[in-house]
Amino acid sequence: MLHLDVTRNMRYDRMTSRIFSQCIKPGFNCIDIGAHKGEMLKEFLRLSPTGYHQAFEPVPFMYNDLYRRFQGRAKIFPYALAAESGQAAFNFVRNAPAYSGLRQRQYAVASPDIQKIQVEVRTLDEMVPLEMPVGLIKIDVEGAEYEVIRGGVNTISRNKPIILFEFGKGASDFYGTDPGEFFDYFTHVLGMQIFSLPAFLKKCPPYSREAFIVCYESIEEYYFIALP
């Protein structure tokens, strides 16, 4: 399973890079939520060096590394994003940091070494200035994607950015997220359509509600793109 996960992640990384190259224009402002090692932030800066970019990473040593490498070219924040602000216990997976999150989830390591740390939690709406146009948002927060999106409803509704996000069984279900409700929020509240990355690149139609639920339950795909 770990081999499959790594292989699919590499495939998603390649497709994401293609999508960024197609969609990010000079001057775009982009937001990286769950910035990890900064691979996506680096792409934002390459494709839109004059844009105002924000990155969020609550794991302290990762935040410190991002700040050291990117401060002055992007705004780096040590916050987790969710639907409401406050403080929270955060599950830092020491032997698999990419799986760290506000709640525990399924892990692709046999014995996850979890350390509880306290983090500051903010909403996307309170972190994005009203005057800042947003062209693209990437969200990879190990199951809390719906929380992030609900906390950024005004920013997303105002800007209608391209959103690349992870949403998969084994992570989002630990937050009690229902895929049908998630789909309805995008379509009815945000006025956006959801595509798989291959469908977007091949210019295929977006998901129907039923197809998205089947995809989620079967784990056929777990990385998606949403567009107005």
d(CA 73, CA 28): 14
Single-letter amino acid, residue 130: L
Angle between helices 60-70 and 39-47 (to 10 degrees): 20
Q: Which of 159, 160, 146, 139 is nearest to 54 (CA)?
A: 139
Number of independent structural domains in the chain? 1
Residue 41's pLDDT is: 98
Which pairing describes strands 162-166 and 223-227: parallel, antiparallel, or unpaired? antiparallel
User: What parts of the chain have a pLDDT lower than 50?
Assistant: 1-3
Q: How many residues does the chain have?
A: 228
Judged by phi (left if over 0) then psi (alpha if -120 to 50, else beta), residue 72 lies in left
Residue 155's pLDDT is: 98
Residue 5's pLDDT is: 52
Structural domain for 140, as ranges? 2-227
Residue 6's pLDDT is: 59
- Domain holding 75: CATH number? 3.40.50.150
Q: Label residues 178-208 b or e (16+ Cβ within 10 Å = b).
A: ebeebbebbbeebebbbbbbebbeeeeebbe
- For residue 67, which phi and psi values (nearest 5 degrees)? -60, -45
